[in-house]
Amino acid sequence: MNAAAEVLLDVQALDKRFGGLHVTRNVSFALRAGDRLALIGPNGAGKTTLVNQISGVLAPSAGDIWLRGENVTRASQAERVRAGLARTFQITTLAPHFPVQRQIELALFEREGLTGRLWRSMDSYPALQAEASDILARFGLRAHAATPTQDLAYGEQRLIEMALALALRPKVLLLDEPMAGVPKGDGARLLAALDALPRDLAVLIIEHDMDLVFRFATRIVVLAEGAVLADGSPDAIRRDPAVRAAYLGG
Amino acid sequence: MNSPMTSTVSTAAKAPAQPVPAQAVRCAPPWRAPLLLLIAGLAACALFPDQLGLITRIFIAGLFVLSLDLVVGVAGLATLGHAALFGLGAYAAGIFALQVHADPLLGLGVGSAAGALTALVSGAFLLRYQGFTFLMLTVAVSQIVLSLVQKARDWTGGDDGLSGFAMAPLLGRFEFDLEGRVGAGYALAVLVLMFYAAQRLVQSPFGLAVRGIHENRARMAALGTPVFRRLWLLYTVAGALAGAAGALSAQTNAVVGTDSLSFALSAEALVMLILGGAGQLTGALVGATVFTLLHHTAASINPYHWLFVVGGLLMLVVFVPPTRAWAWLRRRAGGLQ
Amino acid sequence: MNTLFNILIDGLAYGMVLFVIAVGLSVTLGLMRFVNLSHGAFAMVGGYCAAWLTREAQWSFWLAVPLAIAATALLGALLEALVLRHLYRRKELDQVLFTIGLSFVLIATTNAIAGPQVQLITLPPLLAGSVDLGFRTLPAQRLLVIGAGLAVAAAAAWTVTRTRFGVWLRAAVDHSGTAAALGIPIRSVQCASFAAGAALAGFGGILGAELMPLEPYYALKYLVLVLVVVAVGGMGSIAGSLVAAVLLGTIETASRYLASGWGSLFFFVAMAALLAWRPNGLLKR
Amino acid sequence: MNPSRRTLARALIAASGLALAGAPALAQGAAVKVGVIGPFSGPFAHYGALFKAGVEAYVASQGGKLAGKDIEFIYRDTGGPNPGQTKTLVQELIVKDKVDYLGGFVFTPNALAVAPLIQQSRTPTVVFNAATSAITEKSEYFLRTSYTLWQVTVPLAQWAAQQNMKKVVTAVTDYGPGIDAEAAFKSEFVKQGGTVVESIRMPIATTDFGPFVQRIKASGAQAVYTFLPGGPPNLGFVKAYNENGLAKAGVQFLGTAETDEFDLQKFGDSALGLTTAFHYSGAHDSPENRKFVDALKKRDPAAVANYASVGAWDGMYVIHKMIEATDGRKDGAKALAAARTLQWESPRGPVRIDAKTRHITQNVYLRKVERAGGQLVNKEQQSFGPQTDFGLGK
């Protein structure tokens, strides 16, 4: 843990109920610049619900979310993005019919606050187009710039998810199962992309692939039935008997 | 050809995608399609000088369906209440001509503003909902508007319609004539200009974002788009276009009836749009033209049973989409050469 | 006080008519997720069959009604098997376009065969009269509608929630892949469900004919009303449709007693308010 | 400018020049062209069919030619009330088809929409049906062979007062003609010393008339004056009137066009005894009417002798006389001058065109529905004598 770095995301005593269902119970953790925090837990542990609350899709029932020193518990998704938060989704792609290049351009327009412009053509922003091409090149997708996203291989679509989030130049990145459904052979490019994430970025990742988790994470939070079961370094988690009992040991 | 998205031939998802150069992504110039429309419109007027009434109706229907396309095709909000925007634009232009001033361009502005205002107010409520709920709420809103217009008989003439207003000459020079030359030219000019504006809108970053919302609302929200505000603005712009179409209808007909607010008009416009291909602005114009012409000819040949023709065609179009039919025809033509 | 009772009784009767016409759409649109705008056309077919059987063929009402319903179900099953099944996976707008086209053709056919006049179903003496309620009378036919409406609601709700067929239907719609793997005869379930929806439409067309007279344009004229009931009641919720129909029927009736000068304004204001309050249906939160 | 653009610009200029040049006037053919506007599709299509049967039967009854000229009918379909489309159709009829006369019109807004066109082109236009008083004021080329609600309602109100009715309730459909009817009845009945205890307006989309009939019952009136738009609502209202016990309670029914012959047979026994005041009954007993009914049935066995078909028949008579007066040439002013003084024996009885209003002056009859030879008919009880349109100038 690099305790010296600035706290970027601070989740404090978060609670969420759906009617009688208690899906998040008093969850707290903090994320600093450069952190690679993995959120693990069995299916139904409330991982995605938690990410949805942090990104603003769901409003928590109680507790606070601080983003770069600002309380964003009641802020809209758009405000959180502007404050430096970006996320990816488990299975969706942004716009299946758009050419890949357009997807990235759209994210860039959004970052620059240009999507309220009604008249000037979307083709008349050469700087952003160049940046979009660069991003595609970085992910090895430049040859597919004009291909409709739905025609790409599944693994490549996952890469675009990540490219979109990074195009927003976030300080905090939430990755919701980036490897889900990707065939083993296609995983290498994704792993490379994960390793190439900017150093000072704070990353929260949900993932089921334990090899990936233990290779990538600097810290792990284990969630069970909505509550934090354990929180510590990968080594500590690996040795934690409670975790072994509830999750790893099965 | 207008859509910035349809850059490549869509290959089946299974096959590995062929690399496509980035240049193919660029939009067509926004003036090209409106210019073609202007030429086609003038040619139609020149070739059929005694059918200008029908041609004017096609122009107006085209503008209305264009507006509907922004909402349904671009933003992905299926509505059956679009006639409310058209009808209120028509009534506003008619009442303005009757009570305030008979100048057509001022009236056009008033009608357009009425459409935009209606969209602004109703959109603030409607756009909080999605899908089938949104669709049914648009029906409710348009029926409420219809009831109010019927009730406000002193202003609107109720079910007898609003009539008795005459338009002043266009630009102070061109009288609206019996053959409808000025009416047709006026409607065409407004249609071309608004088509150009809509084309710019669709090709702007705003248009791209709205299409993004259509494709995946949740994902766009996570990208930081204020979804509601984008849709609200789009709906208001569409309201301005629909209101302008209504105003044109009021001015060239010198009468407004409650049919301009009816469910039937909303449904008919939707049929025209799907016929021409939702999402493509030129598709909206093609659909409006084909449907209006078909209705007119089928009803002239045999006014009794034109529903057979139209009903049969609608069913056919679903199984043989126009784009596929075109592709097939082209292949056949190519094979013959 | 008397007015209040009148509103409640007439509202219940009117609401039940709305319900019996709408319940079939609650099956095809609500449960099968097929945007079936030709629902009104099926109701019309049922009504016309019953009218023809009772008037021209001089059949007894009690025999003619089941036969007319069976004929409508058969037409529904045929159309489903030949054409409509290819549309289940298509876009909703395609379904809209096709079923509107189908309605147009059925309207034109009806007009060509039977002419534009209103068709009446001859009622048996038992139903033709009025029943004395003490402070007023009520047409006996309305009592049949109320009874039949409740029976249909109970039977349909039971079929969907309690029988194996209902489980199959929901599985076929929501998880068609899994359902096929489990050996559920998806095609038969779909076809039977659609036929049932058509049969219910025909039943509604017959029972509702007293208030919604049968004529060629029937197919589209009452479509909005029916869609409103299904939307407010909630997709696929038969109990919801029942509550929505009675509630909206009562509101419409009350506006006729108290504020008829405003037309259908209150009906649609109520609809908008209810939908805005419970977008997923009256009985769902 | 590159070459292709220049070509484009030339094409544009040429095209716009062509557009503004317009079409040269075509030489007129020998036949007299009559455009007939009506609903030929949609829920009101039977009006169109009756117009067609009426005008064609008239021409056939004259030996196929009028004043020695062939007649060419051009039918145009408006669907329902749709003023915009009607205007387009009429514009096309005048400009492209160059019709000499226009006839038809079921709906008031459609008729109002064409007033500027016929005024500008001086096309004599005979309204076969639309019944709002104000129509003939909108252009001096309008003539009308139907009726107005004032025309038939005023004598009915007078009769009701003479029958010692003191309290009447009005129940009309909430649109232009209904409000005309309500105003006509109210003003005349009050003038005669009666009281209108309640004025009910029923929405145009009403299907369940039960609530309104209950209100009529609760009002304690001796009679109900009603106006309905024709077709299914007529049936619905009469059914509710019987089923809710109004007929039994002795609340008298006063109507006008509600017992229209077109769907009278559908009412069954529930229609027996309904009282109406109207200008035409299919059962009117006169040689002219028998000739009309025979000609109509010969043309179209399914056609019914009612106010729409007789309006078309008499409208064609007026057009016939205008063709005679102008010798088949298009001369709107001359034709109108001739039409203003017309007076003839119509199937409905003696009629004439009022020179000032260009509306038909005709007898109005009190009728009761009776059974004659297995059929329900509107049996004329008494004639109120010739009536003009009382609605103008109100």
pLDDT bracket for residue B333 (50, 70, 90)? low
The C-alpha of B136 sits at a distance from chain C's nearest C-alpha, in angstroms, of 7
The dihedral sign for the CA sequence C144, C147, C153, C158 = negative
Q: Taking 70 as the threshold, does the pLDDT of residue D29 lie above it?
A: no
Asked whether the beta carbons of A14 and A62 are under 8 A apart, the reply is yes
Chain B residue closest in CA terms to A99: B5
ipTM over 0.90: no
CA dihedral defined by A164, A167, A171, A177, rounded to 10 degrees?
A: 20
Name the token pair of D9.
């610009």
The set of chains that have 3 or more CB pairs under 8 A with B is A, C, D
Q: Taking 50 as the threshold, does the pLDDT of residue D21 lie above it?
A: no
Question: Among residues D175, D46, D39, D178, which one has the least CA distance to residue D104?
Answer: D39
Chain D residue closest in CA terms to B247: D84
Question: Among residues C121, C161, C160, which one has the least CA distance to residue C144?
Answer: C121
Residue D61 three-state SS: helix
Between the alpha carbon of residue C100 and those of residues C26, C37, C214, D2, D380, the distances in Å are: 18, 6, 18, 49, 46
Q: What is the pLDDT of residues C215-256, one digit of tens each?
A: 888 888 888 889 999 999 988 788 899 999 999 999 999 988
In this complex, how many residue pairs, one in chain B and one in chain D, have their CB atoms less than 8 Å apart? Answer: 141
Average pLDDT on C18-35 reads: 86
Residue B309 to residue A100: CA distance in whole angstroms: 42
Predicted confidence at residue B21, as pLDDT, reads 53
Instruction: List own/partner pairs for B99-105 with CB under 8 A and 24 or more apart.
Output: B101/B168, B102/B165, B102/B166, B102/B167, B102/B168, B103/B167, B103/B168, B104/B167, B104/B168, B104/B170, B104/B186, B104/B251, B105/B170, B105/B171
Fold designation for C2-277:
ABC transporter involved in vitamin B12 uptake, BtuC (1.10.3470)
Predicted confidence at residue D10, as pLDDT, reads 47
Identify from D199, D216, D235, D243 which residue to disrupt to test chain C contact, counting C C-beta atoms within 10 A and taking the largest count: D243
Chain D CB contacts of B154 under 8 Å are none
Predicted confidence at residue D45, as pLDDT, reads 84
Q: Taking 50 as the threshold, does the pLDDT of residue A12 lie above it?
A: yes
Identify from C107, C110, C111, C118 which residue to disrupt to test chain D contact, counting D C-beta atoms within 10 A and taking the largest count: C118
Touching status, chains D and A (3+ beta-carbon pairs under 8 Å):
no
Give the residue, C126 or B20, on which the prediction is more confident: C126
Asked if B49 and D21 come within 8 Å (Cβ–Cβ), the reply is yes
Report B:210-249 residues touching A (Cβ under 8 A).
211-212, 215-216, 218-226, 230, 233, 237
In whole angstroms, what separates CA A103 from the centre of its chain?
Answer: 17
**Does C211 reach chain D within 8 Å, measured CB to CB?**
yes
**What is the domain partition of chain C in residue ranges?**
2-277
Chain B residue closest in CA terms to C274: B137
Asked whether the beta carbons of C194 and C33 are under 8 A apart, the reply is no
Phi-psi region of C19 (alpha: psi -120 to 50; beta: other; left: phi over 0): alpha
Q: Which helix (H) or strand (E) segment is D255 a member of?
A: strand D252-255
Predicted confidence at residue D27, as pLDDT, reads 36
Q: What number does CATH give the domain A7-248? A: 3.40.50.300
Asked whether the beta carbons of A55 and A133 are under 8 A apart, the reply is no
Q: pTM for this structure?
A: 0.88
Asked if C101 and B315 come within 8 Å (Cβ–Cβ), the reply is yes
Asked if A94 and B19 come within 8 Å (Cβ–Cβ), the reply is no
Average pLDDT on A192-213 reads: 89
Asked if B159 and D175 come within 8 Å (Cβ–Cβ), the reply is yes
Asked if B5 and A119 come within 8 Å (Cβ–Cβ), the reply is no
**Does B30 reach chain A within 8 Å, measured CB to CB?**
yes
Weakest-pLDDT range from A214-228, B10-24, B40-54, C6-20: B10-24
Between the alpha carbon of residue A46 and those of residues A22, A61, C140, D235, the distances in Å are: 10, 14, 58, 63
Residue D317 to residue D310: CA distance in whole angstroms: 10
Question: Among residues C224, C250, C233, C285, which one has the least CA distance to residue C26?
Answer: C233
The C-alpha of C262 sits at a distance from chain D's nearest C-alpha, in angstroms, of 7
Residues of B contacting chain C (CB within 8 angstroms): 72, 78, 125, 128-129, 132-133, 136-137, 139-141, 143-144, 147-148, 150-151, 263, 267, 270-271, 274-275, 278, 304-305, 307-308, 310-319
Predicted confidence at residue D15, as pLDDT, reads 42
Length of chain C: 285
Asked if B27 and A122 come within 8 Å (Cβ–Cβ), the reply is yes
Chain C CB contacts of B320 under 8 Å are none
Crossing angle for the helix pair B52-69 and B227-253, nearest 10 degrees? Answer: 170
Annotate D108-170 with DSSP letters as a single string.
HHHHHHHHHHHHHHT--EEESS---GGGGGS-TTEEE-S--HHHHHHHHHHHHHHTT--EEEE
At residue D66, what are phi and psi to the nearest 5 degrees? -115, 125
Q: What is the pLDDT of residues B163-215, one digit of tens each?
A: 888 888 888 888 888 788 899 999 999 999 999 999 999 999 999 999 999 99
Predicted confidence at residue D24, as pLDDT, reads 35
Chain A CB contacts of B206 under 8 Å are 115-118
Asked if B161 and D112 come within 8 Å (Cβ–Cβ), the reply is yes
In three state form, how does the secondary structure of C2-65 look? HHHHHHHHHHHHHHHHHHHHHHHHHHHHHHCCCCCCCHHHHHHHHHHHHHHHHHCCCCCHHHHH
Residue A194 to residue A189: CA distance in whole angstroms: 9
**What is the domain partition of chain A in residue ranges?**
7-248
Question: Among residues C210, C214, C196, C213, which one has the least CA distance to residue C48?
Answer: C214
Asked if D218 and C2 come within 8 Å (Cβ–Cβ), the reply is yes
Residue B188 to residue B42: CA distance in whole angstroms: 8
Give the residue, B295 or B123, on which the prediction is more confident: B123
Predicted confidence at residue D127, as pLDDT, reads 95
Q: What is the pLDDT of residues D96-139, one digit of tens each?
A: 889 999 999 998 889 988 998 899 899 999 999 988 888 888 89
Residue D81 to residue B159: CA distance in whole angstroms: 9
Asked whether the beta carbons of D280 and D360 are under 8 A apart, the reply is no
Report C:27-56 residues touching B (Cβ under 8 A).
none
Q: What residue ranges define each of the domains in chain D, with the CATH number in brackets?
A: 32-147+284-358 (3.40.50.2300), 150-278+365-387 (3.40.50.2300)
Chain C CB contacts of B308 under 8 Å are 104-105, 108-109
Residue D153 to residue D151: CA distance in whole angstroms: 6
Asked if A89 and B219 come within 8 Å (Cβ–Cβ), the reply is yes
Question: Among residues B209, B265, B214, B208, which one has the least CA distance to residue B242?
Answer: B265
The C-alpha of A12 sits at a distance from chain B's nearest C-alpha, in angstroms, of 22
